Chain A
Amino acid sequence: MTTLDQLRPGDTRTITNLRSSDLTIKLLEMGLLPGKAVQFNFKAPLGCPISVQISGYSLSLRIDEARLIEVA
């Protein structure tokens, strides 16, 4: 199963599932909903955090957080 942290800059995928965690609700609130298209923008120079494009805005997430988001 691919997760958001494994994508490369420019890749666009569809969110399929959020792995259950404390942060599920926070991720949902920020618009990371199953069925939504998400684009990988870039990584911070040290590899974490990352920036993604979701429903028209840029969001940054740590790698651990991106790992909770399954994409296809």
Chain B
Amino acid sequence: MSPKTAVAPAPVASIPSATYSIALAGNPNSGKTTLFNLLTGLNQKVGNYPGVTVDRKSGRLLLEGEASARLLDLPGTYSIYPRSNDEQVVLDVLLNRSSADYPDVVVAVADMSNLERSLLLVSQILDLGLPLVLVLNMADMAKKRGITVDTEQLSRQLGGIPVVVMNARNGQGLQELKQVLSRELQPAATPFYQVLPLAPEAIAEARQYFGCKTYYEAYLLLQHAENLHTMSPLERDQLEALGKLSKLDRPALQITETKARYARIQEVLSTVVQLPDTSSRQSVSARIDAVVTHKIGGYLLFFGVLFLMFQAIFAWATVPMDLIDSLFARLGSLLEGLLPEGVLSRLLIEGVLPGIGGIVIFVPQIALLFMLIALLEESGYMARVVFLMDKLMRKVGLNGRSVVPLISGLACAVPAIMATRGIDHWKDRLITIFVTPFMSCSARLPVYTILIALVVPDERIWGFINLQGIALMGMYLLGFVAAIGSALLMKFIIRAKKGGFLIMELPAYRWPRWGNVLYMVLEKSKVFVFEAGKIILAVSIILWVLASYGPGDRMARAEEAYRTAHADTPELEDELASLRLEHSYAGLLGKTIEPAIAPLGYDWKIGIALFTSFAAREVFVGTMATLYSVGSAADDESTIKSRLQAETNPDTGGPRFTLAVAFSLLVFYAFAMQCTSTVAVVYRETGGWKWPLIQTAYMTGLAYVSALLVYQLLS
């Protein structure tokens, strides 16, 4: 034999390569996300699982040498039996061998200080016959509590799978995990639990028919026959028939299995884990809880936190926002000087650039708000907010988990509605989605500010209470009241098949990790920029076209006539801009809807602004500036204000913006669904047009009726 053939390389089938994929599974609060961030760094991507609104986080993991692998962070779950879309994803991924996400190896993350509960899911995944690595995370916590684990013995009891002790918060154990993952891994040698006796014939037959790796995999197919979206209808019928034939009582079997697994887990742990003498010393978390859930102190703290969030949105965020504002204004004038005159340049300067500016300007508020939310979640406080608010929120058809989306709605409804994914009860989630856009988002603030400045005097009563401040606070309260009132209404209209539940872990308090906070801020800001942003940009461009072009030569003729008549007016260009807008398609639309909005006190000019603000509400201010020929001075709020104040109503001879008109507009903007991005995100999150259409009709209807009432009562 020649030396060449003698050194034939070993088979490399399961040595990590570009297509090698690792899935991360584990309980919520097991530090899975921290581990994921540690393993992938900034090399991660957040998307959606096809067909469901569940976040799909994946990234690239660098292993030893040149090897790397794809890492998928599965949603946190306590068992393989799903109760929500999130948990269903775990089952779909682990049972569907043809899926691109089907892993070569599963890394199960367990909370080392809470092994009993963690091992339920671990043992279920183990029995699927996939190569498995067990990470005992939070080693620091276990050490503090005096818990020691004999990892060698545990590994033996789990069919020989590798067991790695880690503390993902400081990177302890990372090298060892990477070494283990760089090896060729095998599934457990023996199943943890013998499932076959539960239904011998059906399980054996299903295993043969579907070519399952293990009896447990076949058993899970039988258990979940109707919910496996990844199977063909024929295969599902086959499974259903098998189950019926053997008269499987699925829930009863599930209970038997879970109890039997726990019995085995307790038996294993009794030989593997050394628990300290249970002292009666109160843990730190219990002492913090005594304050945080106190009947007075608890709510005071919560309102303090809310106040901090308001501060963040209104005070701290304005600094970077002003910076972005002036940056885009300067960029606009810079481009104006650089680019040749033409349609494309105008599209860029007047359509695209302000469109992008209108998106970026909200990033500071969104980033700050989500930084605070991330801090609260990381520390464990958010679970206590859910705990404190659950009963109150349930009275109005929401639940404790609705608090975070509602607060997020103060920045932007788009990430807020996506945050409702944490609510596993469909009815509660739907109501939360339905009412969140009533919360006064940041895009409403410029509209409120200008309208309030217009009609509410800048005076103090009793020396310290500013009237304009009260009016602004009133608008925020109005939004909140509308949200709660609508939730109550929905509670009685929507029927739910099953009641909700709140069986929730209260995680131990921990110092937040800045890394995790940073990743969440980046993720949410990205969601806003790309999800809401692309729609805002598209709508801005469409609206720019509508506002810049008119039917036939209407615009040109009107402009020509005006130019000859008023050739010596100093502000000719600004007035011409207003004239062009009047004769554009947008102007035409404004005039068309004038009869419908006249009862609210609006004229066609306000009608145009109602249209253009469909991109985002704050566009209202810019459009008003153009309409009232403020033109070049559009950034100066006091200029817009004085122009608006000077405008007269031809019918009455008095001012156009009376108290009645301004308040009618304020109420309209508080309630109306003037936001295309929100409609789009509701469409996606509810999986159809039904809910976004009902919501838009309801909100706009409520806005119209309320604005009508306000105008008629005040005028």
Contact = CB atoms under 8 A, between A and B. Distances in A.
Given A23-B503, A49-B390, A57 B114 contact: yes
B392 A46 contact: yes
Contacts of A1: none
Interface in A19-62: 22-31, 33, 41-42, 44-49, 51, 55-62
Q: Which of B294, B299, B388, B506 has the most CB of A within 10 A?
A: B506
A8 to B, nearest CB: 15
B690 interface: no
Nearest to B500: A62
Most chain B beta-carbon neighbours within 10 Å: one of A25, A26, A55, A65: A25
Contact of B117 (A22, A46, A55): A55
B503 A41 contact: no
Contacts of A31: 116-117, 262
Contacts of B460: none
A30 B299 contact: no
A47 to B, nearest CB: 7
B113 interface: yes
Contacts of A47: 391
B116 A29 contact: no
A24 B257 CA distance: 13
A33 B116 CA distance: 11
A45 B292 CA distance: 10
Interface in B269-319: 285-286, 289-290, 293-295, 298-299
B632 interface: no
A56 B298 CA distance: 24
Contacts of A58: 285, 289, 505-508
B262 A28 contact: yes
B153 interface: no
Given A23-B501, A59-B503, A65-B501, A41 B114 contact: no
Given A23-B501, A44-B391, A51 B258 contact: no
Given A41-B286, A44-B293, A61-B502, A29 B391 contact: no
Interface stretch (B78-86, B210-218, B332-340, B354-362): B78-86
Contacts of B113: 56
Nearest to B498: A22
A60 B258 contact: no
Contacts of B504: 59-60
B258 A59 contact: no
Contacts of B507: 58
B643 interface: no
A23 B114 CA distance: 22
Interface string B461-503: 0000000000000000000000000000000000000100111
Interface string B494-533: 0000100111111110000000000000000000000000
Nearest to B266: A33
A33 to B, nearest CB: 5
Nearest to A51: B506
A48 B505 contact: no
Interface in B170-229: none
Contacts of B388: 44-45
| Interface class of chain B by DSSP | helix
B18 interface: no
A33 B259 contact: yes
Contact of A27 (B254, B290, B503): B503
Contacts of B81: 25, 29
Nearest to B391: A46
A28 B259 CA distance: 7
B387 A51 contact: yes
Contacts of A25: 81, 251, 254-255, 258
Contacts of A23: 501, 503
A45 B388 CA distance: 7
A51 B508 CA distance: 13
A34 to B, nearest CB: 8
A56 B78 CA distance: 16
B120 interface: yes
A59 B506 contact: yes
B503 A61 contact: yes
A28 B255 contact: yes
A56 to B, nearest CB: 5
A66 to B, nearest CB: 10
Contact of B502 (A27, A42, A56, A65): A65
Contacts of A60: 383, 387, 502-506
Contacts of A56: 113-114, 116, 145
B258 A29 contact: yes
A30 B113 CA distance: 15
Given A41-B286, A60-B504, A62-B502, A30 B293 contact: no
A70 B298 CA distance: 30
Contacts of A42: 289-290, 293
Contact of A57 (B117, B251, B254, B290): B117
A49 B391 contact: yes
Given A41-B286, A44-B293, A57-B117, A28 B502 contact: no
Q: Which of A22, A41, A42, A49 has the most CB of B within 10 A?
A: A49
Nearest to B280: A10
Contacts of B498: 22
A26 B83 contact: yes
Nearest to A66: B503
A59 B27 CA distance: 14
A29 B299 contact: no
Contacts of B83: 26
Nearest to B388: A44
A35 B298 CA distance: 34
Nearest to B294: A45
A68 B111 CA distance: 27
Interface in B366-398: 383, 387-388, 390-392
A29 B83 CA distance: 12
B302 to A, nearest CB: 11
A57 B505 contact: yes
Given A28-B255, A58-B289, 18 more contacts: A22-B498, A24-B251, A24-B255, A25-B255, A30-B78, A30-B117, A30-B505, A31-B262, A41-B289, A42-B290, A44-B293, A44-B388, A45-B388, A58-B285, A58-B505, A59-B506, A61-B503, A62-B501
16 contacts: A25-B258, A30-B503, A31-B116, A44-B387, A45-B294, A45-B299, A48-B391, A49-B387, A49-B502, A55-B114, A55-B117, A58-B289, A59-B504, A59-B505, A60-B505, A62-B390
Interface of B: 78-79, 81, 83, 113-114, 116-117, 120, 145, 251, 254-255, 258-259, 262, 285-286, 289-290, 293-295, 298-299, 383, 387-388, 390-392, 498, 501-508
Interface of A: 22-31, 33, 41-42, 44-49, 51, 55-62, 65
Ordered nearest first, which 6 A-B pairs have the shortest CB separation? A45-B295, A58-B506, A46-B391, A31-B117, A29-B79, A28-B258
